[in-house]
Amino acid sequence: MGLSLFGLRLVLKPKKTNQKRQREPRFAFMTKSDVDHLEDGYRWRKYGQKAVKNSPFPRSYYRCTSASCNVKKRVERSFSDPSIVVTTYEGQHIHPSPVMPRPSFAGAASESGFSATTFAMPMQRRLSLYQQQQQPLSIASHLWVSVITEQQMLVFYMKGAFAPTQRGLLCLRIMGFLKTLSLPYAKRGVDENTIATL
């Protein structure tokens, strides 16, 4: 915080909150995608981009455009596998998603665009719904989801085809589902049968 005057920056007295900038809980997911910025139902404004050390790909910083909503996310491409995009979310939205995933899901959509009933739907039915309503699915789009918590990273592998434009949304719903389990999921994990019911 400061004033800029003819290139001279006057730094105002910084407010001395004792809290040393505690970080909101973060989670991340990875997915194969050609596009870096996946659609996830929220509107974002990019506010920075930095080179990543030891990686040819930059990291982009986004902030939720909703007023007083401090959710941020980072997007970067994995340097070990350039076809994979890593998206990291920080913070929780204090408002509903401005973009409802599907009108037919509107009743079941919660703040995060997810509800248990939505996920209780068998995968085959969900897929057929997507196939009816979406553009053609790209076949080679198996979805990796990794949950990164304080100390641990869990990686899930979902078989199936998902439209590229829907993957970000789907990943957020998976995160919402994990939160409905009694946590910490970092310790419990989720077995294959549970994943299969997604």
The site for DNA (CB under 7 A) is made up of 1-2, 4, 7, 9, 11, 14, 20-21, 37, 43-50, 52-53, 59-62, 65, 72, 74
Cβ atoms of 93 and 42 closer than 8 Å: yes
Closest approach of Cβ 88 to DNA, in Å? 8
In 3-state terms, what secondary structure has residue 180? helix
Closest approach of Cβ 196 to DNA, in Å? 34
Residue among 6 and 132 whose Cβ is closer to DNA:
6
Residue among 61 and 119 whose Cβ is closer to DNA:
61
CA distance 167 to 136: 14
Closest approach of Cβ 59 to DNA, in Å? 6
Residue among 88 and 110 whose Cβ is closer to DNA:
88
Cβ atoms of 113 and 98 closer than 8 Å: no
Mark 166-182 as b/e (b = at least 16 C-beta within 10 Å).
bbbbbbbbbbbbbeeee
Residue among 105 and 167 whose Cβ is closer to DNA:
167
The tokens of 94 are what?
């204090």
Q: How many CB atoms lie within 10 A of CB 77?
A: 19
Closest approach of Cβ 147 to DNA, in Å? 18
